[in-house]
Amino acid sequence: MAKYKQTEEQFTVEEGLDTCEIESLRDEMTEWRDNMDGTGLENTQKYEAVSEAADQLDNVDSITFDDLDSVMEEAELADDIKALTYKAILMVPRSRRQSSSRSVRLSNAVSTLTGALDCIEAYLAELPESDKVTDIQTEVDNLRGLVEEMDGVEFPGMFG
């Protein structure tokens, strides 16, 4: 039996543009790497895998929504866009006693962020073309590239 089931959840764009889960994963991996520093584990493949995941997740700091917020405000569309809703399919544990793996947590966070960006793009496609709409689209494209980088992070297993 599968450990996870798919569930469809509804979000507003404002809720979806959140990197807290990715930041939490980055902190976990950084702490794991730091705990291995100064031990005999520093020169192992496990250390390298943990360190690589921590470094990749460190790029989450480059995902900021300030520029997107600015261009949406300038176009006077921020409130409308942030209130848009969309559905994302997330993986949740079948058992309430089970917690989600790091890779599932990251996948859910990326899915939620991608859904928000897709929703913004769909909204922009309905608007007449203008420089302000183009500026918003440019920021969405920039964020999409950063989010896609997060999706490629591979987490090492605890015992192997």
Percent of the chain exceeding pLDDT 70 equals 97
pLDDT digit string, tens, across residues 8-54: 999 999 999 998 999 999 999 999 999 998 888 888 999 999 999 99
156 with 50: CB under 8 angstroms? Answer: yes
pLDDT for res 159: 63
User: Which residue from 132, 136, 23 is spatially nearest to 82, judged by alpha carbons?
Assistant: 136
pTM here? 0.89
Higher pLDDT, 7 or 149: 7
CA–CA dist 134, 139 (Å, integer): 9
pLDDT for res 1: 47
